[in-house]
């Protein structure tokens, strides 16, 4: 679902795009917080499952069944061996797709502080809130005990951007306009 903060990297003005690309290249802990582990866990699990399907297919499916599958494709989708071959082929096709998605997002999945705003990065997809637009900053603690974590809500006249990390809360407080309300 699109939000008022959604923007593509290539849609930004040249100076802002260059700054983001430079900061992503450096990945300094002072301006970059990676949440890649959260975002790419599904890709890793799906890739491992597909790899297991390929290995199982190579060990379980005779070559004759692979050849028969292509020969009798339209009528052969009901037999159990054909379904195994189809699953094997889908696993083979999914591995390059998962690898492509991983390389698009690898080291491009996190939160970034720039001179002009706070950015959530998901490959080329960004959510950007500009410092001058922020009217309220609020940190919320969710959960209790070992399972608790903090979120930061950045409110603008167009809506609220929720950051699922409070890693940059103090830096955000320093960069927002003085007229913005800060709640902890």
| Per-residue pLDDT tens over the stretch 82-115 | 667 777 788 888 888 888 877 776 667 789 999 9
Give the pLDDT mean for 5-27: 92
Answer yes or no: are the C-beta atoms of 109 and 35 closer than 8 Å.
yes
Q: Computed from CA positions of residues 9, 13, 15, 16, in that sequence, does the dihedral angle turn out positive or negative? A: negative
Taking 90 as the threshold, does the pLDDT of residue 65 lie above it? Answer: no
Residue extents of the structural domains in the chain:
6-27+107-183, 38-105
Whole-number average pLDDT of the chain: 84
d(CA 140, CA 100): 36
Q: pTM of the entire structure?
A: 0.67
* pLDDT score for 106: 67
d(CA 138, CA 153): 5
Strand partners, 18: none
Count the alpha carbons within 13 Å of 70 in the hemisphere toward its beta carbon: 5
- On the 0-12 / 13-18 / 19+ scale of CB atoms within 10 A, 79 is middle
Q: Are strands 159-163 and 181-183 parallel, antiparallel or unpaired?
A: unpaired
d(CA 23, CA 115): 11
* pLDDT score for 39: 62
Tokens of 180: 């913005």
Q: CATH for 6-27+107-183, among 1.20.140, 2.30.29, 3.40.720, 3.90.226?
A: 2.30.29
Confidence class for position 149, pLDDT limits 50, 70, 90? confident
């Amino acid at each position: 679902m699109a939000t008022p903060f959604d923007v593509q990297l290539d849609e930004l003005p040249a100076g802002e795009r260059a700054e983001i690309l430079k900061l992503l290249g450096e990945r300094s802990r002072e301006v970059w917080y990676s949440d890649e582990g959260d975002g790419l866990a599904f890709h890793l699990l799906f890739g491992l499952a597909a790899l297991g399907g390929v290995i199982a297919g190579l060990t379980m499916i005779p070559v004759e069944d692979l050849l028969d599958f292509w020969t009798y494709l339209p009528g052969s989708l009901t037999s159990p061996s054909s379904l195994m071959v189809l699953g094997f082929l889908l696993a083979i096709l999914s591995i390059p797709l998962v690898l492509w998605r991983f390389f698009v997002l690898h080291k491009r999945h996190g939160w970034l502080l720039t001179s002009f705003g706070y950015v959530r990065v998901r490959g080329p997809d960004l959510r950007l809130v500009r410092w001058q637009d922020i009217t309220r900053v609020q940190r919320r603690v969710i959960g209790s005990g070992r399972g608790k974590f903090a979120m930061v809500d950045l409110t603008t006249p167009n809506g609220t951007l929720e950051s699922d990390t409070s890693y940059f809360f103090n830096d955000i407080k320093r960069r927002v306009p003085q007229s913005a309300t800060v709640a902890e």
